[in-house]
Structure 1
Amino acid sequence: MTENVQTLNDVIDPARARAMQTLLGQEATIATEDTLPAFFHQLYFWDPQPPSRLGRDGHPKVGGIIPNMGLPRRMWAGGRLEITAALRAGVPAERRTILEKAERKEGRTGKLGFVTLRHEIRQEGKLCVTDWQDLVYRQDPDPDAPVPVPPEARRDEVARESVTFNSTLLFRYSALTFNGHRIHYDSDYAKTVEGYNGLVVHGPLLAQHLILLAENQLGSVRNFAFRATAPLLHSEEATFCWRDGIAWVRGPDGRQCMIAAASS
């Protein structure tokens, strides 16, 4: 790994993909050489680090490919996918990650750090998926700061699906993606350190449901972009909605938790 580039390899284990199908309530059918559903690449290319190289939040410490900007709270704010070929289970793959952007800014809630990573995933030398990942780093919460008001979600969907979450499901998704972020399984940490009202549903898990909804409507998805707009807690039911190439997550109180655009 150079300072701004990291390369990881994986064999795209079909058993892990079947476990993900089970987590999503699907029949576990994926076998070697089968194509993966869109966004299942999140299950692969683990980068395990020893405890001494983990931050307080359970993520690997910054200072490698992601520079240390002195901001302790990490959030996966969104991303964008270009899918040129479906990944195949059981076939070796390479992910090359490039740091595209890392900058600090002043926001209404204080200092912010914005990071964009570009992941290029190849099988047999062919570029299959380009995945831009947008991360935001923030200061610790100020108890006296005003609470952000989330946007209201649309109610004009033509297709919808309701999904409930719980702490077991979040734990299993964390295990499948090797995501150590404690806001997804450590309630005390999520509340007392990061200022949430409970465990937080993973942004990419919400995006996974949205892209599957888009696939059901379009037949296939080649381009997908999503942005998180408010956290969803593990105790809340979410409604995944679709209309005219736009997909979104509506919380039980009507707030918009995520919005996405998809095309085939």
Structure 2
Amino acid sequence: MTDASTLQQKCTNDNIDPARAVAFQIALGQQPSVKAGAPLPPFFHQLYFWEPHPPHELGRDGHPAVGGLIPDMGLPRRMWAGGKLTFSLPLIAGVGAEKRTSCESVQHKTGRSGPLGFVTLRHEIWQNETLCLTELQDLVYLPDEISGPSKPTLVPARQDAETISAVSFTSTLLFRYSALTFNGHRIHYDTDYARDVEGYGGLVVHGPLLAQMLMLKAEDELGPLTRFSFRATAPLIHSETASLCRKGRDLWVQGPDGRQCMVAQA
């Protein structure tokens, strides 16, 4: 494990523009409700704090190349594995905010498909000099030489849900989410790349988009969130209809074949 104290930290400032949150609500088919002075829905901070990179600093997959805050481990392929969030205070639309990011840990392991790198980033979102949100973001890095993604062991989803919500995706929604979060990862909008280079069956639904939908379901059914954690377990392809499931404070995403795609706890 790499000592996180030796790694860089960075700060990014942004104005929490309500128009961007409204655009996302509309993309999700929701009634727009965010106005200046109103609290943001949980996880909507993903729409802010863009970090544009020029073309020569991007990897083959459209993501910024590794190096700097995330050390170059010789593993250029990236997947968002999961995260943990603590909501201390709601972020307020129309007010400036600062995102402070540091690297918590870097680990090297060997999996069934070869070497793997695990990185945990710590994001703190401050507004009016007050810590509002803390997020631990877990990333996995894989070798570029793999022909196709590492195949996860498919786990059947549990069948004891108290509430189930069906959800479907379109390439338009994936494109809009990529645009609103400034996510250039080609597996979400370039079908040929996703299929021919990384071996998926089609466009891959963003892990954080699935987590976002679970958070909105949890808040709607359980009330305001103070903590939320999630872990991706299998990819979901955009042509598949998924089920958002909940029992108590446990939530999960089930694919159409019954496989577990994500687990979470509110």
Tell me which interval the TM-score lies in, with the shorter structure as reference length.
over 0.9
User: Given the alignment, which residue of 215, 219, 240 partners 2:219?
Assistant: 215
- Report whether the alignment pairs 1:32 with 2:36: yes
Which residue of structure 2 lines up, in the alignment, with residue 159 of structure 1?
163
Which residue of structure 1 lines up, in the alignment, with residue 248 of structure 2?
244
- Equivalent residues in 2 for 1:48-63 (5 A)? 48-63=52-67
The percentage of aligned residue pairs carrying the same residue is 61
Q: Is the 8 A contact 1:183 1:189 kept in 2?
A: yes
Name the SS of the counterpart of 2:21 in structure 1: helix
**1:111 and 1:3 mapped to 2: Cα distance?**
22
**1:163 and 1:90 mapped to 2: Cα distance?**
30
- Report whether the alignment pairs 1:104 with 2:108: yes
**1:258 and 1:184 mapped to 2: Cα distance?**
17
Which runs of 5 or more residues in structure 1 are unaligned? none
Which residue of structure 2 lines up, in the alignment, with residue 185 of structure 1?
189
* Residues 198, 34 of structure 1: alpha-carbon distance in 2 compared, 3 angstrom cutoff: same
What's the CA shift string for 1:211-240, capped at 9, x where partnerless?
111101211111000000000001000100
Name the SS of the counterpart of 2:72 in structure 1: coil
Which residue of structure 1 lines up, in the alignment, with residue 15 of structure 2?
11
State how many pairs are aligned: 261
- Equivalent residues in 2 for 1:84-99 (5 A)? 84-99=88-103
Which runs of 5 or more residues in structure 2 are unaligned? 1-5
- Report whether the alignment pairs 1:253 with 2:263: no
User: Given the alignment, which residue of 22, 47, 50 partners 1:46?
Assistant: 50
- The one-letter code of the counterpart of 1:103 is Q
* Residues 182, 257 of structure 1: alpha-carbon distance in 2 compared, 3 angstrom cutoff: same
**1:145 and 1:86 mapped to 2: Cα distance?**
37
**1:256 and 1:131 mapped to 2: Cα distance?**
23
User: Given the alignment, which residue of 186, 198, 203 partners 1:199?
Assistant: 203
- TM-aligned CA deviation for residue 130 of structure 1: 0.1
**2:149 and 2:236 mapped to 1: Cα distance?**
20
User: Given the alignment, which residue of 119, 123, 127 partners 1:115?
Assistant: 119
Name the SS of the counterpart of 2:51 in structure 1: coil
- The one-letter code of the counterpart of 1:7 is C
* Residues 147, 25 of structure 1: alpha-carbon distance in 2 compared, 3 angstrom cutoff: same
Structure 1-normalised TM-score? 0.95
Which residue of structure 2 lines up, in the alignment, with residue 66 of structure 1?
70
What's the CA shift string for 1:119-172, capped at 9, x where partnerless?
000000000000000000012465599944311001111111111101111000
